[in-house]
């Protein structure tokens, strides 16, 4: 939008966040190095300038932030967390991944609840705040480089308010077999709490790891999670990044995941939106080395009056990179979904192979989907396709099952499950896969009418 | 669906064999060079004295235009309302095109060939004008006899010759210039003008509504199948004259009409603004087929000059079982900004959009369609072929919207892009918005280049490089060309040949 002024109907909300920064935000990370304090100052300044994105911003045109701005969300600060029993946490977690875990409660790291097997040997996993206090040089080098606070006001808020998060570094050639499991739990009895988890994953050349972020809430209060994850995947490194958002149905969830891939690097990303009343996920990946490979998978489920927006962007900077994208959505009730997938092929990125698919299943007449697959291509020797489908279940498939004695509602339930399950079946970790399959079964209706 | 699949496969195969850019043999490069250097074939300017309004735009100019045309009061009021609304609007900036700011006060808003007495036959037409048409390859007499086409030649915004009128009149078809229709059928104009594209629609539509000079009007009464293809040739001539045509076509219950619009324009240094509005209305069981071949001056090889083509085209399928079909071949203009759309209001109505858009040198095209499904069982098909060569930027931007009432609505969209050369760009921005669970929308897009294997195959069989490219590109566009009326299909293929051949990459 050239010259277009930002919608300024959000001045109240902006003012509240600015004053929250003065009173609360500044307080955390007392012993943080100077560069970090500057970074946070700059981020809040960028946010003060831009305000919340409005309908005039093309990237946010389909996302109505009004419900998020109506009530102010104040960061849940250290010490005011409601006590959560360890058993309660374990009940929400994926049991098989429990051995390699970091646990965050209301945005702050809980070392007592966390344990990482196989630290050392070039593997560094820890809370971001303590890593920053230790003066880890990689942090200054990479933090907020990919997620530009100037470009995304919500990422700016995260940068300013983030109390803690995860830092993972895998040194050259090192690898960790077990996935690193990150549990972000919000537990608050009152409405209006916010957490801004901030994660940085750095893979040195030829390193290999799998990271699973799991966002849950042990409460039924309106809270706001605003996460940012940056993934730096160096030459030849390989990363599987799974993001499961399964918060309560009063929650607001905004996330931005930014990745950068070097030569022959490989990133497989899963973005699973199961919960929250309002969810917006941005995934942006830049392929900055030749022959890099990026796979983005996503599932979003809408029930009731929920809103789920997924925005992905793949930037082919260097030649001969490959990207594959599959996002699937199931929308029922009065839910509303948005999918925007952008593929940019820069002039230098010859021999690009990019494929993007978005399928959306609509289960009710009140559900709404807006899908916008976009290709921007500036190189000629490329293979780029995108496809989008929106519709209901295939009647012939339903009939096929009915003809075999399966009642119509059951048949529809099975097909709906299979539709989403196809994406999950690509997950490498067996335990995570079966856990998520079970979750899927619980969330999706077993029988669907008509 | 099957067809779409095939085309997808072909497109994918075409690009599956990577070939380095500099592998081509020298001789073919020379051919390419020659072709690329080729000047615009139909560039010249005709000396006809124009009747100009003073430069600039204000209420007086709007009044001047209306008075000059002897319009009734309601038209003047409508224009003034549009003008006042235009003043409150901002020029849109969302399109994927770049151009220097336009100074709307630095243009003439009215230019007409000198008024002559009423013309009964071609002999009375200005011989200079006849020669112009001859150069264009559109001899009126020949066309009259050979093609059986009634030609309403809009020359610098005012119709000077209308043929076949009596034959159409026999059937009750009203076809002629907009100004005539304002005088002879004010009721029809009043009833339909601005009902599909209101003056509030967008910046350029508002501008057009305020200052439109002339255009075509067609009304096909109930149950009449228009006996011939209707066609209008637009030409932009007088220097610095923005052209603002307005076309309104109404097909009443059970009527059918096929309308052809085609144009070439003389060479110009300065950018010329062209902001037309086309409105189509189809009532119960009616069908309108609207075909366009657009070849205005695209600017020279350095991107200097060329027409700015900012057009608003929209059709309303008001009645049940109605159908509106847009077919366009866009090869000219420096900038094309055009989204012919259909509002599928009547149950079972059908909307179609077939498009070939070609950008070469520094041309930019941001084009596509809007299909708004309101009625039950409405169907739409979109087939868009974009070809980019040189430094051209080609964008498909489309909206498919299934509203709540659009039970069982269907859409199929296919947009394929072909890139020729490594400095051009192809972009796709489809928007799919579904608000009904029984509606189905499918979208596929692919991007590819001309396969070096395909060229090799042709050359091996003795087909020269330029013919091979022409064949492959014409094959790529075949699905669209076959929707064109025969006369246009031939012209369109020639146009592609001229505009494109020799830009192999």
pLDDT in tens, A322-331: 999 999 999 9
**Is the CB of residue B348 less than 8 Å away from at least one CB of chain A?**
no
pLDDT of residue B252: 95
Pick the closest to residue B245 from B265, B221, B220 (CA basis).
B265
Query: Residue B263: pLDDT band by 50, 70, 90 thresholds?
Result: low
pLDDT of residue B126: 56
> Hey, are the CB atoms on B428 and A368 less than 8 Å from each other?
no
Q: Where are the beta strands (DSSP E) in B12-59?
A: 50-52
Helix B203-211 and helix B59-68, axial crossing angle in degrees, nearest 10: 50
Residue B127: CB partners within 8 Å, gap ≥ 6? none
pLDDT of residue A28: 62
Whether residue B391 is predicted with pLDDT greater than 90 in this model: the reply is no
- Range scoring the smallest mean pLDDT among B30-34, B49-53, B114-118, B212-216: B114-118
Bridging pattern class, strands B364-367 and A293-302: unpaired
Residues A11-24: what's their mean pLDDT?
83
Cα separation, A261 vs A246, whole angstroms: 28
A 10 A CB-CB count for B59 gives 13
Q: Are residues A139 and A268 in the same domain?
A: yes
pLDDT digits (tens, 9 = 90+) for A365-415: 889 999 998 889 998 888 888 888 998 888 899 999 999 999 999 999 999
Whether residue B329 is predicted with pLDDT greater than 70 in this model: the reply is yes
pLDDT digits (tens, 9 = 90+) for A39-51: 999 999 999 988 8
Whether residue A3 is predicted with pLDDT greater than 50 in this model: the reply is no
> Hey, are the CB atoms on B434 and A377 less than 8 Å from each other?
no
- Range scoring the smallest mean pLDDT among A20-29, A242-251, B33-42: B33-42
> Hey, are the CB atoms on B444 and A386 less than 8 Å from each other?
yes
Rounded to 5°, angle at Cα B13 from B10 and B18: 145
Query: Residue A72: pLDDT band by 50, 70, 90 thresholds?
Result: confident
Q: Tokens in use for B156?
A: 């610098």
Whether residue A250 is predicted with pLDDT greater than 80 in this model: the reply is yes
pLDDT, greater one: B186 or B27: B186
Residue B253: CB partners within 8 Å, gap ≥ 6? B222, B223, B283, B284, B285, B286, B319
- Judging contacts by C-beta atoms under 8 Å, the chain B residues touching residue A375 are 417, 426-428, 445, 447
Out of A220-234, B109-123, B450-464, the most confident range is: A220-234
**Is the CB of residue B179 less than 8 Å away from at least one CB of chain A?**
no
> Hey, are the CB atoms on B446 and A385 less than 8 Å from each other?
yes
- Judging contacts by C-beta atoms under 8 Å, the chain B residues touching residue A374 are 427-430
Q: Are residues A403 and A281 in the same domain?
A: no
SS3 track for A212-246:
EEEEEECCCCCEEEEEEEEEEECCCCEEEEEEEEE
- Judging contacts by C-beta atoms under 8 Å, the chain A residues touching residue B431 are 370-372
Give the number of domains in chain A.
Answer: 2
> Hey, are the CB atoms on B438 and A378 less than 8 Å from each other?
no
Cα separation, B208 vs B202, whole angstroms: 10
Whether residue B383 is predicted with pLDDT greater than 90 in this model: the reply is yes
**Is the CB of residue B433 less than 8 Å away from at least one CB of chain A?**
yes
pLDDT of residue A293: 96
Residues B99-124: what's their mean pLDDT?
65
> Hey, are the CB atoms on A390 and B422 less than 8 Å from each other?
no
> Hey, are the CB atoms on A377 and B448 less than 8 Å from each other?
no
> Hey, are the CB atoms on A350 and B422 less than 8 Å from each other?
yes
- The answer to the question of residue A365 being in a domain is no
Find the closest chain A residue to B98 by CA distance.
A2
- The answer to the question of residue A108 being in a domain is yes
Q: Are residues A280 and A417 in the same domain?
A: no
Best mutation target, A380, A384, A391, to test chain B (most B CBs within 10 A): A380
Whether residue B480 is predicted with pLDDT greater than 50 in this model: the reply is yes
Q: Are residues A281 and A404 in the same domain?
A: no
pLDDT of residue B10: 39
Cα separation, A255 vs A259, whole angstroms: 13
Whether residue A271 is predicted with pLDDT greater than 80 in this model: the reply is yes
Q: Are residues A164 and A17 in the same domain?
A: yes
Cα separation, B480 vs B7, whole angstroms: 12
pLDDT of residue B94: 82
Decide which of A235, A269, A289 is a domain's last residue: A289
Cβ contact B249:B190 at 8 Å: no
Q: Is the dihedral of CA A41, A42, A43, A49 positive or negative?
A: positive
> Hey, are the CB atoms on B440 and A360 less than 8 Å from each other?
no
Q: Are residues A123 and A258 in the same domain?
A: yes
Q: Where are the beta strands (DSSP E) in B296-424?
A: 307-317, 323-330, 335-338, 341-344, 350-359, 364-367, 370-373, 379-389, 393-402, 410-420
Nearest neighbour of B436 by CB, restricted to A347, A365, A383: A365
pLDDT, greater one: A297 or B6: A297
Residue A59: CB partners within 8 Å, gap ≥ 6? A53, A311, A340
DSSP string, B57-118: -SHHHHHHHHHHTT--HHHHHHHHHHHHHHHT------SS---PPP-TTSSBS-EEEPP-SP
Nearest neighbour of A384 by CB, restricted to B436, B441, B446: B446
396-425 in B: which are within 8 Å (CB) of A? 402, 404, 417, 419-425
Cβ contact B216:B165 at 8 Å: no
Cβ contact B214:B23 at 8 Å: no
Q: Tokens in use for B12?
A: 């994918």
> Hey, are the CB atoms on B424 and A380 less than 8 Å from each other?
yes
> Hey, are the CB atoms on A388 and B437 less than 8 Å from each other?
no
DSSP string, B346-376: STT-EEEEEEEEEE-TT-EEEE--EEEE-ST
Beta bridge partners of A376: A344, B427
- Judging contacts by C-beta atoms under 8 Å, the chain A residues touching residue B402 are 390
- The answer to the question of residue A305 being in a domain is no
Query: Residue B23: pLDDT band by 50, 70, 90 thresholds?
Result: very low
Q: Tokens in use for B262?
A: 């085609």
**Is the CB of residue B188 less than 8 Å away from at least one CB of chain A?**
no
Whether residue A7 is predicted with pLDDT greater than 60 in this model: the reply is no
pLDDT of residue B159: 42
pLDDT of residue B487: 67
Cα separation, A40 vs A258, whole angstroms: 18
pLDDT of residue A114: 87
Cα separation, B468 vs B474, whole angstroms: 10
- Judging contacts by C-beta atoms under 8 Å, the chain A residues touching residue B417 are 375, 377
Helix A395-403 and helix A408-424, axial crossing angle in degrees, nearest 10: 120
> Hey, are the CB atoms on B434 and A388 less than 8 Å from each other?
no
Whether residue A1 is predicted with pLDDT greater than 60 in this model: the reply is no
Pick the closest to residue A241 from A307, A290, A168, A165 (CA basis).
A168
Q: Can you give the residue range of the structural domain that contains A417?
A: 393-450
Shortest distance between the Cα of A309 and any Cα of chain B, in A, equals 13
- The answer to the question of residue A205 being in a domain is yes
Bridging pattern class, strands B410-420 and B440-449: parallel
> Hey, are the CB atoms on B505 and A380 less than 8 Å from each other?
yes
Query: Residue B17: pLDDT band by 50, 70, 90 thresholds?
Result: very low
Pick the closest to residue B339 from B96, B124, B166 (CA basis).
B96
Residue pairs spanning A and B at CB distance below 8 A: 130
**Is the CB of residue B431 less than 8 Å away from at least one CB of chain A?**
yes
Shortest distance between the Cα of A388 and any Cα of chain B, in A, equals 5
Cβ contact B42:B136 at 8 Å: yes
pLDDT of residue A381: 86
353-372 in A: which are within 8 Å (CB) of B? 360, 362-365, 367-372
Whether residue B33 is predicted with pLDDT greater than 70 in this model: the reply is no
Decide which of A245, A267, A289 is a domain's last residue: A289
First to last CA, chain A: 44
Helix A11-23 and helix A34-50, axial crossing angle in degrees, nearest 10: 160
Shortest distance between the Cα of A300 and any Cα of chain B, in A, equals 16
Torsions phi, psi of A280, nearest 5? -135, 125
Query: Residue B124: pLDDT band by 50, 70, 90 thresholds?
Result: low
pLDDT, greater one: A28 or B339: B339
- Judging contacts by C-beta atoms under 8 Å, the chain A residues touching residue B94 are 1, 58
Pick the closest to residue B283 from B341, B360, B232, B223 (CA basis).
B223
A 10 A CB-CB count for A288 gives 17
> Hey, are the CB atoms on B434 and A360 less than 8 Å from each other?
yes
- Judging contacts by C-beta atoms under 8 Å, the chain A residues touching residue B434 are 360, 362, 368-370, 390
Whether residue A345 is predicted with pLDDT greater than 90 in this model: the reply is yes
Whether residue A332 is predicted with pLDDT greater than 80 in this model: the reply is yes
Interface confidence (ipTM) of the complex: 0.78
Nearest neighbour of A377 by CB, restricted to B18, B427, B438: B427
Cα separation, B272 vs B294, whole angstroms: 15
Cβ contact A97:A181 at 8 Å: yes
**Radius of gyration, CA atoms only, chain A:** 21
pLDDT of residue A2: 35
HSE on the CB side for A142, CA within 13 Å? 25
Residues B303-310: what's their mean pLDDT?
82
Find the closest chain B residue to A389 by CA distance.
B442
pLDDT, greater one: B183 or B48: B183
> Hey, are the CB atoms on A373 and B423 less than 8 Å from each other?
no
33-62 in A: which are within 8 Å (CB) of B? 58
> Hey, are the CB atoms on B419 and A377 less than 8 Å from each other?
yes
Question: Mean pLDDT in chain B?
Answer: 77
> Hey, are the CB atoms on B425 and A376 less than 8 Å from each other?
yes
Question: Mean pLDDT in chain A?
Answer: 88
Cα separation, A217 vs B45, whole angstroms: 73
Cα separation, B42 vs A110, whole angstroms: 76
> Hey, are the CB atoms on B437 and A377 less than 8 Å from each other?
no
Nearest neighbour of A377 by CB, restricted to B421, B426, B441: B426
- Give the H or E element holding residue B133: helix B127-135
pLDDT digits (tens, 9 = 90+) for A115-169: 887 777 889 999 998 888 888 899 999 999 999 888 899 999 999 988 889 999 9
- Judging contacts by C-beta atoms under 8 Å, the chain A residues touching residue B446 are 384-385
pLDDT of residue B139: 46
- The answer to the question of residue A140 being in a domain is yes
- Judging contacts by C-beta atoms under 8 Å, the chain A residues touching residue B449 are 380-382
Q: Are residues A102 and A220 in the same domain?
A: yes
Whether residue A209 is predicted with pLDDT greater than 60 in this model: the reply is yes
Decide which of A270, A289, A308 is a domain's last residue: A289
Residues B39-64: what's their mean pLDDT?
68
**Is the CB of residue A272 less than 8 Å away from at least one CB of chain B?**
no
355-394 in B: which are within 8 Å (CB) of A? none
Query: Residue B485: pLDDT band by 50, 70, 90 thresholds?
Result: confident
Best mutation target, B394, B445, B503, to test chain A (most A CBs within 10 A): B445
7-26 in B: which are within 8 Å (CB) of A? 8, 12, 15-16, 18-19, 21
Cα A47 to Cα A13, A15, A44: the distances in Å are 12, 10, 5
- The answer to the question of residue A275 being in a domain is yes
- The answer to the question of residue A215 being in a domain is yes
Find the closest chain A residue to B409 by CA distance.
A391
DSSP secondary structure code for residue A184 in this structure: E
Cβ contact B261:B232 at 8 Å: yes
- The answer to the question of residue A67 being in a domain is yes
pLDDT of residue A449: 56
Q: Are residues A397 and A285 in the same domain?
A: no
Percent pLDDT > 70 in chain A is: 93
pLDDT, greater one: B505 or A436: A436
């Amino acid at each position: 939008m050239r010259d277009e002024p930002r919608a300024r109907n959000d001045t109240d909300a902006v003012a509240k966040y600015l004053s929250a920064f003065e009173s609360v935000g500044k307080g955390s990370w007392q012993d943080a190095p100077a560069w970090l304090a500057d970074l946070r100052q700059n981020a809040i300044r960028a946010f003060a300038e831009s305000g919340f994105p409005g309908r005039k911003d093309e990237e946010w045109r389909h996302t109505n932030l009004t419900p998020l701005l109506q009530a102010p969300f104040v960061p849940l600060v250290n010490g005011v967390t409601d006590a959560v029993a360890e058993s309660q946490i374990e009940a929400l977690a994926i049991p098989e991944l429990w051995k390699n875990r970091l646990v965050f409660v209301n945005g702050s790291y809980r070392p007592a609840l966390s344990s990482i097997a196989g630290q050392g040997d070039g593997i560094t996993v820890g809370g971001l705040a303590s890593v920053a206090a230790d003066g880890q040089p990689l942090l200054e080098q990479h933090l907020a480089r990919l997620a530009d606070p100037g470009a995304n006001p919500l990422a700016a808020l995260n940068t300013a308010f983030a109390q803690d998060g995860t830092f993972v570094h895998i040194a050259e050639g090192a690898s960790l077999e077990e996935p690193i499991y990150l549990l972000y739990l919000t537990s608050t009895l009152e409405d209006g709490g916010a957490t801004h988890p901030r994660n940085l994953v750095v893979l040195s050349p030829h390193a290999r790891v799998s990271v699973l972020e799991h966002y849950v809430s042990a409460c039924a209060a309106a809270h706001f999670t605003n996460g940012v994850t940056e993934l730096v995947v160096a030459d030849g490194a390989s990363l599987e990044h799974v993001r499961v958002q399964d918060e309560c149905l009063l929650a607001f969830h905004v996330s931005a995941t930014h990745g950068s891939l070097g030569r022959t690097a490989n990133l497989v990303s899963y973005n699973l939106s199961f919960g929250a009343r309002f969810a917006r996920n941005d995934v942006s990946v830049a392929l900055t080395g030749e022959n890099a490979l990026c796979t983005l998978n996503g599932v979003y489920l809408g029930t009731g009056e929920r809103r789920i927006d997924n925005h992905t962007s793949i930037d082919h900077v260097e030649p001969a990179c490959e990207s594959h994208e599959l996002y699937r959505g199931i929308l029922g009730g009065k839910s509303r979904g948005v999918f925007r997938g952008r593929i940019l092929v820069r002039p230098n990125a010859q021999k690009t192979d990019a494929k993007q698919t978005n399928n959306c299943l609509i289960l009710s007449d009140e559900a709404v989907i807006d899908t916008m697959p976009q290709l921007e291509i500036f190189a000629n020797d490329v293979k780029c396709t995108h496809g989008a489908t929106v519709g209901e279940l295939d009647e012939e498939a339903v009939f096929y099952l009915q003809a075999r004695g399966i009642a119509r509602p059951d048949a529809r339930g099975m097909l709906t499950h299979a539709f989403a399950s196809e994406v999950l079946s690509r997950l490498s970790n067996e335990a995570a896969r079966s856990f998520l399959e079970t979750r899927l079964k619980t969330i999706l209706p077993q029988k669907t009418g008509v | 669906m099957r067809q779409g699949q095939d085309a997808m496969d072909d497109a994918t195969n075409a690009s599956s064999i990577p070939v380095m850019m500099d592998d081509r043999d020298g001789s073919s490069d020379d051919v390419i060079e020659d072709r690329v250097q080729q000047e615009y074939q139909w560039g010249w300017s005709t000396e006809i004295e124009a009747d100009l309004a003073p430069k600039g735009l204000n209420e007086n100019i709007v009044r001047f235009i209306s008075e000059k045309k002897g319009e009734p009061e309601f038209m003047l009021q409508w224009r003034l309302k549009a003008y006042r609304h235009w003043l409150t609007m901002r020029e849109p900036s969302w399109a994927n095109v770049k151009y220097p700011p336009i100074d709307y006060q630095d243009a003439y808003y009215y230019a007409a060939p000198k008024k002559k007495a009423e013309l009964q036959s071609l002999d009375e037409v200005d011989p200079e004008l006849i020669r112009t048409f001859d150069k264009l390859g559109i001899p009126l007499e020949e066309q009259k006899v050979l093609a059986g086409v009634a030609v309403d030649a809009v020359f610098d915004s005012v119709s000077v010759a209308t043929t076949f009128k009596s034959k159409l009149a026999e059937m009750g078809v009203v076809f002629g210039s907009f100004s005539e229709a304002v005088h002879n059928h004010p009721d029809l104009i009043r009833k339909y003008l601005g009902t599909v594209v209101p003056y509030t629609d967008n910046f350029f539509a508002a501008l057009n509504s305020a200052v439109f000079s002339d255009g075509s009007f067609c009304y096909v009464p109930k149950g009449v199948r228009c006996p011939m293809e209707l066609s209008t040739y637009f030409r932009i001539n007088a220097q610095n004259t923005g052209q603002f045509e307005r076309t309104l076509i109404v097909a009443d219950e059970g009527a059918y009409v096929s309308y052809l619009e085609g144009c070439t324009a003389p060479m110009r240094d300065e950018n010329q603004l062209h902001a037309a509005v086309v409105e189509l209305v189809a009532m119960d069981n009616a069908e309108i087929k609207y075909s366009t071949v657009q070849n205005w001056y695209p600017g020279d090889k350095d991107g200097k000059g060329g027409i700015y083509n900012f057009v608003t085209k929209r059709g309303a399928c008001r009645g049940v079982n109605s159908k509106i079909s847009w077919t366009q071949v866009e090869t000219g203009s420096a900038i094309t900004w055009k989204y012919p759309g259909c509002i599928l209001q009547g149950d079972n109505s059908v909307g179609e959009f077939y498009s070939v858009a070609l950008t070469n040198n520094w041309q930019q095209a941001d084009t596509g369609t809007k299909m708004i499904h309101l009625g039950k069982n409405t169907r739409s098909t979109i087939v868009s072929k974009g070809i980019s060569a040189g430094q051209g930027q080609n964008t498909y931007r489309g909206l498919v919207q299934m509203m709540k009432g659009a039970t069982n609505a269907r859409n199929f969209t296919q947009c394929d892009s072909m890139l020729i050369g490594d400095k051009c760009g192809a972009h796709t921005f489809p928007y799919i918005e579904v608000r009904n669970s029984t509606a189905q929308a499918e979208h596929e897009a692919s991007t590819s280049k001309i396969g070096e294997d395909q060229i090799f195959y042709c050359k091996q069989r003795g087909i020269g490089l330029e013919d091979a490219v022409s064949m492959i590109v014409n094959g790529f566009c075949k699905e669209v060309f076959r929707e064109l009326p025969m006369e246009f299909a031939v012209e369109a293929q020639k146009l592609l040949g001229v505009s494109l051949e020799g830009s192999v990459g």
